[in-house]
Amino acid sequence: MVYVVKNRQDFNMKMAEAGNKLVVLDFCATWCGPCRIISPKVEELAGTYAAKAVVLKINVDECEELAMEYNVTSMPTFIFIKNGIVVDSFVGGNAEKLVKNMAKYAEEVCEPNAVTQ
Please tell me which residue in 28, 32, 63, 110 is annotated as part of the active site: 32
- How far is Cα 113 from Cα 75, in angstroms, rounded to an integer? 35
Active site residue 32: yes
CB-based burial of residue 83 (10 Å sphere; 0-12 exposed, 13-18 middle, 19+ buried)?
Answer: middle
Please tell me which residue in 28, 35, 63, 110 is annotated as part of the active site: 35
Active site residues: 32, 35
